[in-house]
Amino acid sequence: KNQVEQSPQSLIILEGKNCTLQCNYTVSPFSNLRWYKQDTGRGPVSLTIMTFSENTKSNGRYTATLDADTKQSSLHITASQLSDSASYICVVSGRSSASKIIFGSGTRLSIRP
């Protein structure tokens, strides 16, 4: 069964610190992996997208990595800010159908001053 699992479920860090969120997936064949940021009460917003051949992608203080062999991805946030408090969702698309998308349940990140 195609699955996307994220860890940790929730994380609290102090402002200015770095953190790394994890995503493991079993979706196969694999097409692409995205990370979304979802603020409370808002729709998800795309941060990065990586295809099979890419192993890292940056968007400002966000850096995503992908290891397609081990089916793992991480999202690293550098020098966290209060506005980084949100849920981060890993989404994996399978190649077998352009419309099949599997969402992880997200990591709830809280940045404390």
Partner 1 sequence: EAQVTQNPRYLITVTGKKLTVTCSQNMNHEYMSWYRQDPGLGLRQIYYSMNVEVTDKGDVPEGYKVSRKEKRNFPLILESPSPNQTSLYFCASRLAGVGTDTQYFGPGTRLTVL
> Rounded to whole angstroms, how far apart are CA atoms 25 and 103?
10
Residues 9-38 that bind partner 1 (CB under 8 A): 31-32, 34
Residue from the set 17, 18, 42, 79 that interacts with partner 1 by CB under 8 A: 42
> Rounded to whole angstroms, how far apart are CA atoms 73 and 50?
10
Using the rule CB under 8 A, give the single segment among 14-22, 59-67, 70-78, 97-105 that binds partner 1.
97-105
10 Å CB burial of residue 28 (0-12, 13-18, 19+) is exposed
Given the rule CB under 8 A, which residues bind partner 1?
4, 31-32, 34, 41-46, 49, 51, 89, 93, 95, 98-99, 101, 103-106
